[in-house]
Structures are given as structure tokens and as C-alpha cells.
Structure 1
Amino acid sequence: MDHHDYTSVTTGGRRPRRTALRAVTAGAVVLAVAAGGAFAAGLGPFERDTGPDPAAGKQARAFLADWAAGRLPSAAGRTTSPGTAQRVLDSFTTGLDISKPKLTAESAAEGEDGTVTVPFTARMPVEGLGTWTYESKLPLREQSDGSWKVDWKLSLVHPRLSDTEKFRLEREETKPPEVTDREGTALSGAEFPSLGPVMARLGGGGEGTGPRGAIHLVDRTTGKVERTEATFGARTVRDAGPVRTTLDADWQAAAEKALAAHADGKNAALVALRIDDGEILAVANSPSSGFNRALSGTYAPGSTWKVVTSSALLLKDAVTPDDVVDCPKYLTVGKRFQNVELSEHPGATFHKDFTESCNTAFISLRDRLGDGDLGDVARKYFGVGQEWHVGAPSYDGSVPVPKDETEKAASMIGQGRVQANPLIMASVTATAVSGTFHQPSLTEGNEDTTSTTPLPEGVVAQLREMLRATVTDGTARVLSDLPGEIGAKTGTAEVSDDQDNNGWLVAHRGNVAVACVVEEGVTGGGSAGPVVRGLLAAVPGDSE
């Protein structure tokens, strides 16, 4: 077994308590997770200047953002004990093989002693194993100069971390199963590097054949295990023999080549699947080792989500493609939203708003949907948020009811708390152009507990027409010179002030739907567009 220890033990001093009580309110903000659609820069769609002192909440969110992004000196500098904090944070993430933490801050609370507490959820991807999720709290204390700092304690990193107890990662490596594509062609991690994280988790519903491990809480002095905090992988033995997948060796090779050639070394992921049955033809990740972004990533989908928003509006007869829905540069709903590159289209039709990806037009239609309508349509017609059994671990999406008008506006353009990944968005595209959701599958015989309703034929026809026009006359013109009746939608997803936007593109041709995200790709057409174009150009057939 491999043992990794988290070992830092020093604690920092405390600062004087403040005397004045202040109410600090901070909307929930997802940090280190891609947000969707391009809108005005700021600290996120839920930033508020309400309450007498928002500085405490801002400092907490900045600390979490720095920690999540690996800016540990900056994160430590926001605490009352910078030296100790930096050593502990580095030892914790490095010692437990954690990469790219995802930290979600909740609403701040005021204590009677003048301190402020900000609860947060930590999702810690443990290299090659899975995600360790837990909840903790950040204590903040006002300093003598009126500024706020995180009141450093070991327990804020994890509630059970202390001077007497630490965490240890234990790994038990297992041999990945032999894997073939849909035709029986052998697939190896050497030939198809992107499949490494996928193949390790195939078989037995994605459990039992991949790497196994655990995070234990142990006594610092004796090393005795006090409790097991998280386990990864199942201790079952799969029957001998190769695992036959739905993958297609030609599509997989083309997907990996497209990412290598056009993702410019950025983190990126792509999924291609069959429209008529949901069978996955290709899963590609860049980098090829580590986290499986394509199936398990949690990103806001940006303007690609307008496929779902448009479906909801069309289903309710809230708009038609020919209705005039003005597209100004800006629209303020609690905060200022804007279009990519500050574009505007006065007097545009809804059809034009879709093809040009107009954020302000879509947000202006928010009152025509109930607060829960977007999530209901996503679940009922697209299966998003239901439990999917793909044949490997996957994240199946989330569309929560918005907390306020600003969050509802953000949700209309795939921002806010809407979460998806390339698997979900490829499936959304397939459902939109066929009318019927099929649970995606990577292996045969997976349980299917989903329940969905087909989209009306009229809605499907309208969606197909708008997707096609986005290629011929809109933001997805990067695909316009390829043969075939290709339809597509671009997306540009704001992340934070310190990071470039993520780029998205979804497309369909023949019987195949594709979705690609490029982290910090700036725009969808400029980053994900060339990747998808490279894939479709390399595989002229459409897996009939």
C-alpha cells in the first residue's frame, strides 16, 4: 500500500475580538467551478453590497478562491497566521494528492462575539481515485485596522483536523480491465491516453476494477486509525474477460487528436455519442491523466444551456422564433449582465438572439418562466438531474431553483448554479434534435431508472432550425465549411475575475451529438470550435 500523510501541526495566534455587531450576507458562490454564459465582470452573479460590512464575506470567498486555484501564498495572506496557513494548506493538498479543489461558500452568519462564520462545502478530487466531499466553516475576525482576516485554525481546513489527529491517504492499486470498443477492437491506455481514467472505472457499474483507496483519520503520535473519512472503489472481483464498451476506435482516435491539436494545452474535455440510443462513441480529456472532466466535471454550461432555456420558452408558448426580442448591450437584474464583446442587435428576433447568443434578450424573457420551470424542463425532457447509470462514474447535472431574480437571470444563460459537463451537454443536444432522451451508456446492460417525456415535434423542428442557423449565420460559423447538415451552439462561461472564460461548443451531425469545453478558452467559437471542427472533419461517417 502507498501511504501519504498530511503532517502540518502548527497553529497560529488569535486576534482581538471586534465589538460592533454587523450583519453580513453573502449569496452562495461556487468557486473553482466554471460558470456559464458571458456576463459582466465582478465577483459573480450573486455579489451584493447589502449589509453594513460585506468585507468579511468577500474575504472568505477570496480565501476559498485562492485555495482552490492553488494560490496558497495569497490564501495564507488572508489569514491571521500566514506562515502556518501556507504550510498546512500545501501539506494537506499535496499529501493527500488533491488537485483542483472545488469550494462552495454559503451564506455568512454573525456571532455574538463579533466574529463572522462562512460555511463551505469542499469537493476534493483525490488523484486517480475520486472526490472527497465534506463541509467545514471559515471563522473571520475584524482586525484593528478595520480589515477582515480568516481566523486561522486547523479545523477550518477540515473539522477533524487537529493538533493530535491528521489524515492519511492509503492506495491499493489494481490492474485496469482489458477493454474493447463496440466492434471488439482492443483499446489500450497507451494508444488512447484519454481513456486511462475511464477504463480504470469500467465494469461492475464503474466500481470494483479501478484503483481503490481510503482517507483515514489517524493519531499523529501512534499512527492508529481513528476513523475512515472516505473510501474509493469497491472491493469486488470482476469476472475475467475484456469489458466491451460502446466506444468507437475511429471516433476515439479522432477526439484525442482534435484535443491534442486544438486545445492549446489547456484543460479540456469532449464527448461524442449516438443520438438514437445514447451510446458513447468517444470520451477524451486533456490532460489525459487524472480527473475525468468529460463525464464527472462540474461546469456551468454557459450559452449552450440556451438549448434548454429555448425549449422551456417554446414549450410554454412564451415566445416564437419570429417574435422581436430586443438585444441591448447591457441589462441590469441586481447586477449588470452583458453580451460577449458588448454586442447588440436592436430589433432582433428570438431566432437571431439564439444564433448570436444574446444574453440580454434571454434574460429579458425570465418573467415568462416560473422559478422552477427551467429545472423542471431539464429533468422532465432532458433527464438532467436524474440519476444516470452510464457504466462509469458520472456527474448527472443540477438545475436548482434560483434564490432570487439575479440568480434566475443567470440561470437563463447557463450561469449561476446550473451545472453540467460534456456528457450532459452532448446528451442535451441529442435530445433537442431527436425529441427523445436516451440515457447515455459506455457499456451494455446498464440499469436505467430515468423517466422522461418526449419533446413535441414542433419544438424539435424549431430547435433544429435555430441550431442549423447558428452554423450558417451565427456564432458557430467555424463549422460552416464542413459537409453535412451540422447544427451547433456556442457558449462562453465566466469563471472569475482572475480567470479567462471557459469556451463551449455543442454540435450535431447525422446520428452523432458532440460537446466540448475548453477551460479558460475565452470564447466557445474560438476555443472549443476548432476542437469540434477537427473531430468532425476527421470522421466523415456518422455511426449509423
Structure 2
Amino acid sequence: MTDVAPLTGPGRRPAGPRRGPARKATRVVLVAGLTLALAAGIGYAAELGPFDPGPAKPDAEATRQARAFLADWEAGRMSRAAALTLRPEQAERVLNSFTAGLDISEPDLTPGAAKTGEDGTVTVSFTAKMPVTGLGTWTYASALPLRKQDDGAWKVEWALSLVHPKLSGTEKFRLEREDTAGPGITDRDGNALSSRKHPSLGPLLPQIAGGGGSGPRGAVRLVDRATGKVKGTEASFGKKSGRPADRPVATTLDATWQSAAEKALAAEADGKDAALVALRIDDGEILAVANSPSSGFNRAVSGTYAPGSTWKIVTTSALLLKDAVAPDDVVDCPKYLTVGKRFQNVETSEHRGATFRKDFTTSCNTAFISLRDKVGDQELGDVAGKYFGVGQKWGVGIPSYDGSVPTPRDQTEKAASMIGQGRVQANPLIMASVTATAVSGTFHQPSLTGDSEDTTTTSPLPREVVTQLRELMRTTVTDGTASVLADLPGDVGAKTGTAEVSDDVPNNGWFVAYRGNVAVACVVEKGVTGGASAGPVVRSLLDAVPDDPS
């Protein structure tokens, strides 16, 4: 039986569903379907497919594993790095031989972008910065392939090419060093110098051979594993010096003095950072340059230190040049003197009613500071430059720091400058030269190669000033703070120095001396006092080499 709708009125159709809304809904569905179809068509036109999400995002665990591998390799944990690969034994062997064979220390491995391949392999790029000891840094790019294992773990898919893209079963790398510091470098008597016999010369000899700073040279070569034939150069270090390879480079150094200087530092510097320079007084030729430790920074020639009371040689010269004081004048030496800040003597010593001679030989800070008004604000720097060459450009033969004596900014800084503190800067090379100039009267630019260009301009010290300086330094040995040299034979003079560094760091110890035709300067960092720390080093040197070089 079929239900029939009742009539609603004469001549009317039976009642039924309302058609207006139904037709509207139908139109919406049709439009939506058409939109999806059009979108799908556009997708297919772009060859993406209607539901393609784009490139797969690399698995986070794969990226983490790659970073762990690079971190272990970078830290030298080769066995741990190798364990993250599919071939751990081969990986460990190659990683060890690569870094050791190419003399690489402390590599820097920086991970980059990661991407997923069609086969599911994740590749993580990285940049390698490989410091080749003594030469420079070799930088290149490579990548790590990683594959997911059946147990869900990610492993580095080991291949020689991940270490370097050109490393393979047929090609490897070889480090070649150019020996610039062997028998091609000689001392003043033609004796061969080497870093093996004289460790302190290790950083200097390549500079000398390169004409002043070219540095060591070498290269990383790509070679055939079977024949050893060079197929390419991956990295080059240093530059050619321009000197014929078969022409020895002569220096002013003396092998005997150099050996004695290094032994003196090793025996007497108590393991502290220290440096020493010995040079000829009559011509400035450098006989020995020694540093402790022997490798690394050349403190002796390039260091920047407050010279402390050894600088009183220059201060005394400035005072004597203008007759501002005489050795027998009374210049009181109190424990303390305040000039903006409180200055004191070492161990707060005092010598009431002392002569200037006593002030010099006992290294009295307060007495020297009390004379600050006797010299102009710029006068100390002017004397240092005009008579001692300090602050002028020196052509030593290797890079050097040549000193600085700025004009004091206030009276406190001027007081400090009088005793080699404040902004006064020097090093053992400078102070050995200052000593040589003081006792000879004439500045000679220090030289390590004998053919260095001298562009300095100086004036000689008056003879009476030189005589007084020599007498004051001699008395410092016989009756003052440099008594550590008192029993050495001959005319030996010296000056001690103690230089403040900061409130929480021990003072640096300084000692300068002359004997015959040789001037010596030594600094011992954190040595506390010059007489107790640097003095024994200088004594050891002079005692070991009793004769001056010809």
C-alpha cells in the first residue's frame, strides 16, 4: 500500500518535500566536487599528485646520530665514533690514520643540512676544519650517509669518501712539509742551528728563512695508493721566501750562548713562563733568544710587559741629562708615597736620608717617584726614543715589538712611569738593548740576521752620563739588589726589577746585566722579585759562558 498525500484544497497538488533548499544543497555539493577535481587536476599538472606532501622530512634520530658521530670524531673518540657506523673496525682504523698521518689536531666538524633520499637514506652535510700542526687549517666539505636498520636504529653507512670526498680505495692523502729550519740556518760561526738542538728557535727559524714572517710551508697532496704519484694538491700552507734553497741563511746567533740561555731558563725559571735575550753591546747583534716554554709565543722579542724597576735606567738617564740629580744627592726613600694612589717599595722597605746612589742600588720606588717634577710629562718618552731607540720601528730580522712610552694622562700615571709601570711597555729584547746603550752610550738597532735595514735615528748619551750609569749598575751588584752576580769575575753590572701585574696576580721578576761586550735581559712571569727569580737565570747563563763572542 502506498501512502497518498491528502488534498489540501480544490484543484491543488498533493503536498511533498520543499524543493528550494534541496536544490541549493545539491549545487553546493557539485561546486565543492568541481573544486576538488580542479585542484586535483592542477596537482597532477604539477606532477605532485593530488595528496603529495612534498620531500620527506629527515628522521630526527638520524640527524642526532650524525651529530654524535661528528662530535666523537672531533673529540678524538675514534672507537665511539666508529661504533656508530656499519663497519666499526675499518672506520676506527681510517679515522685514526687520517688524523695522525696528516698531523691533524683538534678538528672542528660542523654539521649542516640533512636530506632524505628516495631509498630512505638520510645524508647530513658537514664542514671540516682540520688544523695541520705547525702549518695552518685545511677546510673542506663532506657528508655523512645514514641508513635505518631493521631494529629501527640509524647507523652511518661507512665509506672512505665521508672522511673526505676524494679519499678512496685508489687515492689517499699525504702531508709534505718543506724543511726551512734545518742546516740552511747557521749561527755567526757557520754552525747549523735546528729546533731539535735549540727548541726555543723552533718558531723563529722559519721566520728567519722566510725573510721575516713567511712561516713554515707544506701541502696536503692527493696521491695514488699504488704508485705514490701526486695527482693533486688539496691544501697549501705558507709562501716561498724568494731565497735560493741551497743558500744558507746566516744569523748573528751564537750556538754556545743559545744553548746556555735555554739551559738557564730550564734550570732556574722554576717552570714559569719566562724569556731571555743576550746581545753584543758594540753592534746590537743578538746572541741568544730563549723562551720558556720553547714553543708558541715569542715573549723575548714580541712580548709586551711593564719593565718595572729595570726602566729606572732610562729614568736615571733623563734625570742625569738635565743635572736634576747627582749620585751623592740625598733623596729620601720612605716606605710609602701617595700620588693619587699609594706607591710603596718592595716589602715596604725604607732608607731614610739615602743618597740617589742608594735609591738606585736598592731600587727605591718612592725616591724615584718623588723626583717626577724634575722631568716634563713627555720627557721620559722623548729620552727613551732619542737615546735608546725605544718606540721607533726596529728591523730586527723577525717580527718584534719595539716598545712604547706614552705621555702620562695624569700625575698618578706619571709617577708610575718613573718606575716602569703605568703604560710603559717593553720586553727582554728592548731591555737588553737599553742596557747596552746605557753602558756604551750609543744605540745599535738589535739584529738577528746582520743584514736588517736600520731606519732609526738616535743621539749618543754624553760620556759623563754613561760613566755614572755604569758605576750605579756596578754598585747594584757589589752592594745592592743584584748581589746574585757578585762573585762573578770581571766588570759586571746589573739592575733588578719587580713589575706589578694586578692585585691578584704575583709580580713579574726582571733582571738586566752587562759583562764585557754582552748585555742580557730576562723576565720571569709571576716571579715575585727580579733578584730572586730572573737573577739566577742570568747568573746561570753568564757562569756557563765565561768568554764573550768575537
Q: For residues 263 and 365 of structure 1, do their structure 2 counterparts lie closer, same or farther at Cα, with a shift above 3 Å needed?
A: same
1:416 aligns with 2:416: no
| Cross-structure match for 1:261 | 267
Q: Larger relative contact order (C-alpha < 8 A, sep ≥ 6)?
A: 1
Cα distance change of structure 1 residues 374 and 3 upon mapping to structure 2, 3 Å threshold:
same
Percent of aligned positions that are identical: 74
Whole-Å separation in 2 of the counterparts to 1:267 and 1:298: 13
Q: Distance in 2 between matches of 1:329 and 1:7?
A: 58
Q: State the match for 1:492 in structure 2.
A: 498
Show the counterpart of 1:298. 304
Q: How many positions carry a matched residue from both structures?
A: 373
Structure 2 counterpart of 1:117: none
3-state SS in 2 of match to 1:516:
strand
- What's 1:323 paired with? 329
Q: Which of 190, 201, 209 in structure 2 is aligned with 1:195?
A: 201
* 1:274 and 1:512 in contact (8 A); partners too: yes
Which residue does the alignment assign to 2:313?
307
Preserved CA contact (<8 Å) 1:128 1:290: no
Indicate conservation of the 8 Å contact 1:327/1:353, yes or no.
yes
1:469 and 2:475 correspond: yes
Report what 1:52 is aligned to. none
Equivalents in 1 of 2:523, 2:130: separation in Å? 27
Give the SS at the match of 2:471.
Answer: helix
Q: Secondary structure at the match of 1:396?
A: coil
Q: Give 2:187's aligned residue.
A: 181
Map 1:85-96 → 2, pairs under 5 A: none
Secondary structure at the counterpart of residue 284 of structure 1: strand
Q: Is the 8 A contact 2:206 2:214 kept in 1?
A: no
Residues 209, 237 of structure 1: 8 Å contact kept:
no
Asked if the contact 2:209–2:241 (Cα under 8 Å) also holds between the matched residues in 1, the reply is no
Please show how residues 248-287 of structure 1 align to structure 2 within 5 Å.
248-287=254-293
Residue 453 (structure 1) shift: 0.1
Contact 2:134 2:216 (8 Å CA) reproduced: no
Give the Å deviation of 1:129.
Answer: 8.6
8 Å Cα contact 1:194/1:285 also seen in 2: yes
Partner of 1:513: 519
Whether the 8 Å contact between 1:209 and 1:238 is mirrored in structure 2 is no
SS of structure 2 residue aligned to 1:446: coil
Deviation by residue 1:436-461 (Cα, 9 ceiling, x = unmatched): 00000100211110010000000000
CA distance in 2, matches of 1:431, 1:465: 14
Q: Is the 8 A contact 2:494 2:513 kept in 1?
A: yes
Change (3 A) 1:255 1:410: same
Deviates more, 1:173-182 or 1:458-467: 173-182
Report the equivalent of 2:20: none
Of residues 424, 446, 456 in structure 1, which corresponds to 2:452?
446
* Alpha-carbon distance in 1 for matches of 2:358, 2:217: 49
1:205 is displaced (CA, Å) by 3.8
Q: Secondary structure at the match of 2:512?
A: strand
> Any residues of structure 2 matched to 1:133-532 within 5 Å, and which?
175-177=179-181, 178-210=184-216, 236-240=241-245, 241-532=247-538
Q: For 1:433, give the aligned amino acid.
A: V
Residues 1:128 and 1:492: Cα distance change in structure 2 (over 3 Å): farther
The AA in structure 1 aligned to 2:244 is D
Letter in 2 for 1:351: R
Going from structure 1 to structure 2, the CA distance change for 1:378 and 1:7 (only over 3 Å counts) comes to farther
Kept after mapping to 2: 8 A contact 1:246/1:442: yes
Task: Indicate conservation of the 8 Å contact 2:180/2:209, yes or no.
Answer: no
Report the Cα distance in structure 2 between the residues aligned to 1:515 and 1:388, rounded to whole angstroms. 18
Q: 1:372 to 1:288 in 2, by over 3 A?
A: same
Structure 1 residues 100-139: Cα deviation after superposition (integer angstroms, max 9, x where no partner)? xxxxxxxxxxxxxxxxxxxxxxxxxxx9699xxxxxxxxx
Q: Provide the rounded CA distance (Å) in 1 between the counterparts of 2:249 and 2:365.
A: 44
Q: 1:175, CA displacement in angstroms?
A: 3.4
Deviations 1:261-293 (A, max 9, x none): 000110000000000000001110000100111
Contact 2:286 2:447 in 1 (8 A): yes
SS of aligned partner of 1:388: coil
Partners in 1 of 2:357 and 2:521 — Cα distance?
22
What's the C-alpha RMSD, in Å, of the aligned pairs? 2.6
After superposition, the Cα gap between the structure-2 partners of 1:519 and 1:317, relative to the gap in structure 1 and judged at 3 Å, is same
Name the amino acid aligned to 1:513.
Answer: A
Output the amino acid matched with 1:537. Answer: D
Structure richer in helix, relative to its length = 2
1:4-83 → structure 2 map (5 Å cutoff): none
* CA gap 1:233/1:352 in 2 versus in 1, 3 angstroms: farther
Q: Is the 8 A contact 1:356 1:474 kept in 2?
A: yes
Distance 1:538 1:514 in 2: 14
TM-score by length of 2: 0.64
Distance 1:444 1:501, change over 3 A: same
8 Å contact kept, 1:208–1:237: no
Contact 1:193 1:289 in 2 (8 A): yes
C-alpha distance 288-326 of structure 1, shift in aligned 2 (>3 A): same
**Is contact 1:205–1:389 with CA below 8 Å preserved after alignment?**
no
Distance 1:172 1:301, change over 3 A: farther
Provide the residue aligned with 2:52 in structure 1.
none
- When residues 263 and 3 of structure 1 are mapped into structure 2, their CA distance, relative to the original with a 3 A threshold, is closer
Q: For 2:198 and 2:300, how far apart are their aligned partners in 1?
A: 15
Distance 2:523 2:110 in 1: 37
Segment drifting more, 504-513 vs 248-257: 248-257
- Runs of 5+ consecutive residues of structure 1 not aligned to the other structure: 10-94, 98-126, 131-170, 214-231
What secondary structure, in the 3-state scheme, does the structure 2 residue paired with 1:408 have? Answer: helix
AA paired with 1:502?
N
Deviation string for 1:29-57 (max 9, x for gaps)? xxxxxxxxxxxxxxxxxxxxxxxxxxxxx
Quick one: distance in 2 between partners of 1:505 and 1:387? 24
SS in 1 for 2:522: strand
